[in-house]
Amino acid sequence: MKVFVWLIILGAIGGVAYVLWKWRERWREHQRASEERLAMFVAQARPMSPAAAPAVAAVDNSLPQQKLLFDAALKAGEAGEAAISIQLYARLLERYPESAFGGQAQAAIEQQKRKLATS
């Protein structure tokens, strides 16, 4: 009987210790998130230096649009619509001349032109 009581006491102490440990982890994570939010707020509130302006302007957010155009042109070519495929590839190259898909688009245009000429 004494052993059973001691096991219950040790289990209760272990349970309390586990709850305190988890609470402390949550509190640390909350503090870390709070510090990150403060750092972001301070960074946004601080005026931008002239040296940082070109770095921000160099960020290219158009990659998803480029990928959509490229995929649409690819699917049009696979569906046998060579003319539409060529138009979509041309639109991709016109809008985004420095595109990551530029080389692939040029090669695909040539392939679609040959396919269109043989049809």
Q: What is the pLDDT of residue 118?
A: 83
What would the pLDDT profile of 64-94 be if each residue is shown by its tens digit?
888 888 999 989 989 988 899 999 999 989 9
Instruction: Please name the residues in contact with 56: beta carbons below 8 A apart, sequence gap of 6 or more.
Output: 48
Distance CA 13, CA 71 (A): 60
CA 50 – CA 67 distance, rounded (Å): 32
Predicted pLDDT at 12: 97
pLDDT value for 51: 59
pLDDT of residue 18: 97
- Enter the pTM of the model: 0.50
- Which distant-in-sequence residues (6+ apart) come within 8 Å of 50 by Cβ? none
Q: What is the pLDDT of residue 45?
A: 80
Task: Identify the segments of the chain with pLDDT beneath 50.
Answer: 56
